[in-house]
Amino acid sequence: MKVIVTGCAGFIGSHTTEELLSRGYDVIGIDCMTYAGSVQNMENFIQDIDFYEIDINWTERIRDLVQEENVEWIINFAAETHVDNSITSVEPFIHSNVNGVASLLEVCRATGCKLLHISTDEVYGSTTEGSFVETDNFSPRNPYSATKAAAEHLVTSFHNTYGTEYKMTRMSNNFGPRQHQEKFIPTILRSIKQGKKIPVYGDGKNIRDWFYVKDCAKCVVDVLESGEMNEVYNLTLQNELENVEIVSIILGHLGLEFQDVVEFVEDRLGHDFRYSIDNTKFLQISSVTPTSFEDSLRQTIEGE
C-alpha cells in the first residue's frame, strides 16, 4: 500500500515512518521543516521514501501527489504540539492544526483518499480519577488542545457531509529518542548536560501517561491495518507517573540527587493536573507488548 506521512521529519512521525517501512509500506513523506522537523530524524530512512518539503496547507500540490501516486491513505502527524508555545501565540497552531487538517480533508474529498488523523488525549481535558473513553465529551483547556479538538470535529464533519473515510487516534504523552528539546524529558537531560537546574512546574505533582514512541508507532500502524473504519482509538499502554517521579527516575539512572539539581518554577497557565485514557477499545484490535519502562527510558537517555 502507498501512503503519505505528513510530519515525517518530526518526533512521532519519523518513528512511525520507520515502522511503516519495516512492514513493507511504500511511503511518501511530507514535512514543511519548521523548527520541530529535522533531517537528522530521517537519516535512517530518507533514502527509502519520496520526500517533499511542503506545507500541508498546499492543497493542490498534495492533491496532485495523491492522484499521481495512487495514494490510499494520508497519515497526518503534522502539527504544532507544544502547549507553552500555544499560550504565547495560537496563530501557528490554527495554521497547522486546523487549517492544515481542513486542507488534507479537501484532498481526501477530491480524490477519495482516506485519512488517519493523529490527535491527542488532551482533547478530553483533565481528570482527577478514572480514565476517558472514546465517547466522552471534549473539554480542551489550553489553546493547543483546543485546535486539536477543532481538527477532530472537522474530520467527523467531512465524513458526515461528504462521506470522507477516516480513522483517528488519541494518544498519550510520548517520549523517546529524537524528541524535540522543548519537551519535558529532553529538558531534564539538557539541563543536566548544561549544568543548570531542572525546571519543574508548580509542585511537580501533575500526572502524565508516559508512552514510549516506538511502541506508539506500532500502535498507530495497528490501527491503520486493523482498526474499524470511521472510528477513534485511544492509544496508551497505561504508565501514569507524576512529573517529579520522572525526574527522580532519570536522576537515579545518572546517579544524581534530586535536591541538588531541581528547582520548582511558577506553574504553567491553565496547567492540567492529570491526563488519563482507557485503551480497552484498542486492545480489541492489537496486542502490542510494551517495552519495559526501564529499557525505554535508558534508550531515551542514550539517544540524547
∠ CA 271-272-278, nearest 5°, is: 160
The C-alpha atoms of residue 223 and residue 116 are separated, in whole angstroms, by: 9
Write down the residue that cell numbers 531515551 correspond to: 300
Q: What is the Cα–Cα distance from 16 to 22, expressed in whole angstroms?
A: 10
Do the Cβ atoms of 291 and 146 come closer than 8 Å? no
C-alpha span between 51 and 9 (Å, rounded): 10
CA distances, 175 to each of 17, 98, 161, 217, 218 (Å): 16, 24, 36, 12, 14
- Active-site residue (options: 121, 152, 209, 222): 121
Q: Kindly name the residue from 19, 31, 55, 122 that is annotated as catalytic.
A: 122
Q: Is 121 a catalytic residue?
A: yes
- Annotated catalytic residue within 124, 144, 166, 275: 144
Instruction: Report the candidate in 14, 6, 18, 62 with the shortest Cα–Cα distance to residue 38.
Output: 14
The CA-CA-CA angle for residues 49, 50, 54, to 5°, reads 125
Does the annotation mark 275 as catalytic? no
Whether 25 is a known active-site residue: answer no
CA distance 95 to 102: 10
Exposure b/e, 132-166, CB count within 10 A at least 16 = b: bebebebbbbbbbbbbbbbbbebbeebbeeeebeb
Active site residues: 121-122, 144
